[in-house]
Structure 1
C-alpha cells in the first residue's frame, strides 16, 4: 500500500504542474472581473435589485409595475425574476459591493468554461490566455451586472455537455437529463433559454444528417424537446415566446444592443470576424456542438448585436486550440522557464491595473449617476420626471419616489420612451411632457436642464457635476 502511494505522488505532482499554466490562463479574466466590479454602469442592475427585494418581502413576483407614476399598475412581466432575487440576496448581505463581487464571480466562471473547453480541444494554455486577453476589450462592455452573464455561462456549459455527448464521454441519458435541468434553471434566471433550445435543435439536425452519428442525433432531438418543455417551467409558461418578442419589439430602435449587426462598427466587426473564424475551425474539425452554437449565435447576431458576445465566447476555445507552427512549439519547449517567468510577470502587471478597483467595489459610475446628496434631496413621494438611465438608480435608492421612466422598455413601450427622452433633450412640447411631474432629475448638460434653468415655474433643488434636480415652484 505504501509503495502504491509513493507511485501515485509523482503522478499528482505532475498533474498539478500541468494544471498550473491553465490556472494562469484563467486568471487573465480576473482583471476584467475586477474592473467590472469596481464600477457599476448598467441601469438595469439597480431596479433588478429593488425588484428582488420586493419579491423577497412580498414572497410573490410583482405582476404590475410598482415603481413609476406613468405606468403604475400596468401589467409587467419579468424575464429574470430569479436573478433579481439572487442580486437582492447579495445586496442584503453587503450592499452593492456584494452584488459586484457576485457578478465578478460569474465573469470568472465564464473564463473558466472558456479555458476548460480550450483544454478539451487540445489547446495550449498560452493560446487560451492570449485568446482571453485579446477578447477582453471587446467583451468588457457586455460583462456587466446583468442576467446576460447567465446566458454566457449557460451557452458555454451547454456546448461542454454536447461536446462530451458527441465524444462519448457521457451517457446520452445523463446528457439529456443535465440539459433538461439546465433549461429549467436558465429560464427562471433569464428568459433567453430559447437560445439554448435553438442550439440543441441545430446540433440534433447536424448529427442526424450523418449516418454514424444519427443515434446521438435522436438523443439530442429528445434533449431539444425536453428543454423546450422545461422552458415552460416559468411564471409565464409558454407565454415566454410572446414575452421575448415583446421585449425585442419594445427595445429595437431604442436600445443599442438590440440593433442589427453593423459592420461599420469596428468592435462589432472584429467580434463577428473572430466568431466566423471559430465557425470555420469548428467545421474543419467537425466539432458539431461548436458548429451548431456558432451558427445559431451568428444568425442571431445579424438580427441583434447583443448576441455577438455569445458568438465570440464560443469561438474563443477553438481559436485558442489552433496549433502553433512546429518551429515555434520547439522554441517554446526549449524556453519553458523563460516563458513561465514572462507570463508570470505579465500577469502581475495585468493584475496591477485592476487591483485598485477593490477600493471602491460596487461603486455606481460617478460619470453617470449623481451623488447621494442629489437623490437624498428629492422630496418624499415626489412624482419624478427623469432620464432613461437615472430611473433604475432612483428606484433602488429612493423607492418612495415614483419615476417617469427607466430601462424596462417592454413596460413603457417605444412611444413613451422616445417621447420622454426627446423631452430630456429639450425637444417637443416640454409642458406636456412634464405634465403631472413635481420634480425633474436629468443630466446637467441636457437640453431640459438648460430649459428649466430660466423657467420660473421650477426651482433648482440640488446639483453636482453629473445631474441637476428641479422642483416645481
Structure 2
C-alpha cells in the first residue's frame, strides 16, 4: 500500500516539477532571451530612473529626439530590470525572467490542477510554451505574462463563487498599468467575465452592480500611473502609427515567420474537437477575439496562449488525483533556490546585433560623441554604452516620420541617406551585415570609409 502511494506521488510530482520548475528555469537561463536590442535600453531607462529618482518625460538618450516628449509606460518593469542588473549583471536579468516564468507556469498549473490530471497539465504547458518561446525575451512583456495568468485566475475564481472579484483586486491594475501596456487586455478579460456573469446570473441587477463597481475600480486604477492620462491612452495611440508594419512583433502572424504558433493552434483545435470542452459562450468569444488579435499582430500570440491555457482546462473537468500536500511547499522553496542560483551563475550573451559589444568597443573614442547612423537593434546597446543613437526600439516615441524615413535609408535610398546626413550632421555609422543595401551604398559612397568590421557588423566613419 505504501509502495503504491509512493508511486502515485511520484507520478503526480514529476509533471509538477517539470512544468513549474525545470522548464521555466531552462527557458530563463537561455541566452536567447537577450536576442533583442530593446533589453539594453530598458535596463538603461531603469538605471536613469534609479539615478534621478524620477520618471523621464522627455527623451534623455537619442540625439534625434533629445528633449522631445516620451511616455515610458513600462517604467516599473525597467526599474526591476535595472535593479536586477545592478545586483548580478545579466545573470540578475535572467534570474528575474526565471522568476516571472516560474510564476506564470505555477499559475497555469495550479488552475488546471482543479480540472485535469498532472500529465495533461504538462502537455498544456508545453503547448503554451511552443507559442511563447519565440517571444521569450528579457523585456517588460515577459514580466506581464504572469500577471495575465493571475488576473484570469482571479476572474475564474470570482465566477466560481458567483460574485465579482473583491475591489482590492483592482489594485493589481495599478501595478499592471505601470509595468506594461497589456493592461488594456486585462480590462478586456475582466469585461468578458463581467458579461458572462450578467448573462448567466439569475439576479442580473446584482451582477451588474457588483461587476460594474469592480470594472469602475479597474478603470480608476489604471489612471494611477506615472504618466497620467497619456499613460492610459498611449497603448491605444500606438495602434494608429504607420510604421507598425515595419516592426516584427506588430506584423500579422504568418506561418513562414512563426510556424510553431500555427502548429500549436492546429494542435489546440484538434484537442478541442476531440475533447469538446464545455465553456460558456462568452469565454469562447473571448478566445475568438484573442485569436483574431493574434492573427492581426504577432505580439498578441502570447496573450492567446496564456488565456487559452487558463480557460480550456475549466471545460475539461475529469476526476483526477490531487497533489500531495507537502509538494507545493517544496516547489516554492525549490523555485526560490533556482532563482538565486540563476542570479549567481554567470550567463554568456550571444554575439549578435542585439549584443554588439565587441563592435561597439572597437568604435574610436573621437567618434562616440558624434551623431551616428545605427542599426535599429543596435540602438539599445549604444544607449547602455553611453552613446546617443539615431534610432532604437522606441519606435512609438520616434513616430512615423523618423522610422519610415529610416527604413528608406536602410533600403539603400541614397537621397534619404544624404538628407539624414545633412540634417543631423551624421559622422559615423554602425550597422549589421544584414543591412546589405545600405552597407553596399556606404562602400561605394565617397567620403565614407570602413574603420572596423567583425562577424556582427561594420563601423564606418565620414571624412
> Which of the five TM-score ranges fits, normalised by the shorter chain?
0.7 to 0.9
C-alpha contact (below 8 Å) 1:79/1:191 kept by paired residues: yes
Structure 1 residue runs of 5 or longer lacking an equivalent are 1-10, 333-354
Structure 2 residue 98 is the aligned partner of structure 1 residue 109: no
Q: CA deviation at 1:422?
A: 2.5
Q: How does 1:393-404 map to 2 (within 5 A)?
A: 393-397=381-385, 399=386, 401-404=387-390
Matches within 5 A, 1:426-465: 426-429=412-415, 430-435=417-422, 436-446=425-435, 447-465=437-455
CA distance in 1, matches of 2:208, 2:155: 11
In 2, are the aligned partners of 1:252 and 1:259 still within 8 Å (CA)? yes
Aligned to 2:240: 249
Match of 2:308 in 1: 315
- TM-score where L is the length of structure 2: 0.82
Deviations 1:329-360 (A, max 9, x none): 9xx9xxxxxxxxxxxxxxxxxxxxxx99x986
Q: 1: CA distance between counterparts of 2:33 and 2:201?
A: 52
Q: Please give the alpha-carbon distance, in whole angstroms, between the structure 2 residues aligned to 1:280 and 1:73.
A: 55
TM-score, length-scaled by structure 1: 0.80
Instruction: Tell me if the contact between 2:353 and 2:432 (Cα under 8 Å) persists in the aligned partners.
Output: no
Residue equivalent to 2:124: 131
Gaps of 5+ in 2: 322-340
Offset at 1:181?
Answer: 1.2
SS state at 2:166 partner: helix
Q: Does 1:212 align with 2:205?
A: no
The separation in 2 between residues aligned to 1:87 and 1:463, in whole angstroms, is 31
- Aligned match for 2:397, one of 380, 399, 411: 411
Structure 1 CA distance, aligned partners of 2:275 and 2:226? 37
Instruction: Decide whether the 8 Å contact of 2:275 with 2:316 is kept in 1.
Output: no
* 1:274/1:246 CA distance change after superposition, 3 Å: farther
SS at match of 2:450: strand
* CA displacement 1:203-262 (0-9 Å, x = unmatched): 111111123374455423322111111010012323334311222223522212223444
Q: How many residue pairs end up in the alignment?
A: 432
**Kindly tell me: are residues 19 and 445 of structure 1, through their superposed partners in 2, closer, same or farther at Cα, counting changes over 3 Å?**
closer
Residue 129 of structure 1 and its aligned partner are, at CA, apart by 1.3
The residue correspondences of 1:1-400 to structure 2 (distance < 5 A) are 18-19=12-13, 21-27=15-21, 29-30=23-24, 32-34=26-28, 36-37=30-31, 39-120=33-114, 122-168=115-161, 172=164, 175-212=165-202, 214=204, 215-216=206-207, 218-250=209-241, 251-262=243-254, 266-273=259-266, 284-286=277-279, 291=284, 293-317=286-310, 361=347, 363-366=349-352, 368-378=354-364, 379-397=367-385, 399=386
Higher alpha-carbon deviation: 218-227 or 72-81: 218-227
Could you tell me how far apart the structure 2 residues matched to 1:12 and 1:178 are? 41
Q: Kindly state the Cα deviation for residue 145 of structure 1 after the two structures are TM-superposed.
A: 0.9
- Give deviations 1:77-110, integer Å, cap 9, x for gaps: 1120111111111111122221122112212221
2:282 and 2:149 map into 1 onto residues whose CA distance is 10
Distance between the aligned counterparts of 2:166 and 2:317, measured in 1?
A: 36
- Provide closer, same or farther for how the CA distance between residues 163 and 317 of structure 1 changes in structure 2, counting only shifts above 3 A: closer
- Cα deviation, 1:274-306, whole Å, max 9, x if unaligned, reads 666788899953468855753442343244331
What does the per-residue CA deviation read over 1:345-398, in whole Å, with 9 as the maximum and x for residues that have no partner? xxxxxxxxxx99x9862614436532425345243312111111111111112x
